């Protein structure tokens, strides 16, 4: 989908939401939660409201809103926030446009702290150029998510000094003044239709912790433009059963970094589909150690002017299918090391300079390579 079409879709989606439809949706969500909860939860759901936040302080609006309420901001009117806006109850929040003040350090713009939050049609702008001292300690993500059962969609994130969107299950300095309790797991969530520009690290980062796991997340329709150190999406440190679908990045270190670890947790079952990189060092990489990672599926990869499109390591059960490479500058298309149970199917070099070994396997066992096609040989 082209960027113009994406924005039109997002605007049309917001314009098409009426007070009645949003109240009905919120009431339905509240009823579903109350159906398995106690009488107190039923009372909270019954008190849900439709709230127009035009001209009001976002912190005060969220603090005063009953659970399961629908809060509508005017996206044409940005708010400059000098402290983190916290969503600590199930809410539907639409149209928020927020910015960090220049020089504000170690303070995320928005933090989701409760299950059942839906955050849509938003713009979040960081201040990365103004963080010039002690960058490692002062960086911050635009949005942090610390609870499951969420939907985050149709958003624009820019100029983040850390990640555009961070899903993190444990305490972390990047989570600002609102750390989660140790041991809190995050399960079930959707992040989709996100444009990220000028992000210092990842557009969307999913980070497990030893004290809390992350599993069963869907991340789809992500466009990243410029990330000097990282890429569009990342899953690391024990995030399990993660699906990345329809991911695009240009001018970045990579498109997707999965099965990543810092010597901590083991990851299982990462699926990537329709991954497209332009002028990236890698399209898919695994920055990991030999800890027992299992289950990596990669389908439909497009690499344009990418140095080493696939760099896969230290994983059991690797399935790669459908790779198209253009304007290749030499060297292998895929470098796979210390992986066991590897299937590589339908790899095609359309243009560029091939290396001596297109698919490089080192220290791997139980491998199968089918159909590497050098289409350049057919050029007249």
d(CA 267, CA 316): 11
The pLDDT tens digits of the residues spanning 120-165 come to 999 999 988 877 777 677 889 999 999 999 999 999 999 999 999 9
pLDDT tens digits for range 345-363: 999 999 988 777 889 999 9
CB atoms within 10 A of CB 24: 12
Report the alpha-carbon distance of residue 140 to residue 160 in Å, rounded: 7
Q: Which residue has the higher pLDDT, 110 or 261?
A: 110
pLDDT tens for residues 39-55? 444 445 658 899 999 99
For residue 329, count other CB atoms closer than 10 A to its CB.
11
CA torsion, ordered 16, 17, 21, 22, to nearest 10 deg? 170
Query: Quick check: 356 and 330 in contact, CB under 8 A?
Result: no
pTM over 0.85: yes
The half-sphere exposure of 266 on its side-chain side, counting CA atoms within 13 A, is 10
- Across 10-24, 34-48, 136-150, 268-282, the highest mean pLDDT is recorded for 268-282
What's the token pair of residue 264? Answer: 């901590």
pLDDT of residue 31: 47
CA–CA distance, 360 with 362 (Å, rounded to integer): 7
Q: What is the mean pLDDT of residues 207-233?
A: 92
């Amino acid at each position: 989908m082209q960027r113009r079409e994406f924005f039109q879709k997002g605007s049309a989606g917001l314009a098409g939401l009426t007070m009645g439809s949003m109240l009905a949706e919120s009431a339905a969500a509240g009823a579903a939660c109350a159906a398995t909860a106690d009488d107190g939860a039923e009372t909270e759901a019954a008190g849900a409201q439709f709230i127009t936040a035009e001209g009001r302080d976002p912190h005060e609006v969220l603090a005063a809103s009953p659970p399961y309420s629908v809060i509508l901001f005017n996206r044409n009117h940005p708010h400059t926030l000098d402290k983190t806006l916290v969503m600590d109850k199930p809410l539907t929040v639409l149209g928020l446009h927020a910015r960090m003040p220049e020089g504000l350090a170690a303070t995320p713009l928005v933090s989701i702290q409760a299950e059942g939050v839906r955050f849509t049609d938003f713009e979040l702008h960081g201040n990365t150029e103004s963080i010039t001292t002690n960058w490692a300690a002062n960086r911050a993500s635009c949005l942090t998510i610390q609870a499951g059962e969420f939907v985050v969609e149709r958003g624009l994130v820019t100029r983040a000094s850390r990640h555009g969107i961070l899903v993190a299950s444990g305490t972390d300095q990047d989570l600002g003044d609102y750390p989660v309790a140790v041991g809190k797991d995050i399960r079930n969530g959707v992040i989709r239709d996100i444009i990220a520009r000028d992000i210092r690290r990842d557009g969307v980062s999913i980070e497990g912790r030893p004290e809390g796991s992350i599993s069963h997340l869907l991340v789809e329709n992500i466009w990243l433009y410029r990330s000097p150190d990282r890429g569009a999406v990342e899953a690391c440190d024990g995030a399990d059963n993660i699906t990345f679908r329809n991911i695009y990045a240009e001018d970045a270190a990579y498109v997707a970094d999965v099965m990543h670890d810092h010597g901590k947790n083991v990851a299982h079952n990462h699926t990537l589909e329709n991954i497209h990189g332009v002028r990236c060092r890698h399209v898919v990489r695994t920055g990991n150690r030999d800890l027992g990672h299992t289950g990596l599926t990669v389908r439909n990869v497009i690499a344009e002017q990418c140095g080493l499109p696939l760099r896969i390591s230290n994983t059991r059960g690797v399935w790669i299918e459908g790779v198209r490479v253009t304007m290749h500058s030499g060297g292998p298309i895929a470098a796979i090391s210390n992986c066991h149970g590897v299937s590589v199917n339908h790899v095609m070099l359309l243009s560029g300079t091939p290396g001596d070994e297109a698919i490089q396997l080192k220290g791997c066992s139980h491998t199968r390579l089918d159909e590497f096609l050098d289409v350049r040989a057919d050029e007249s």
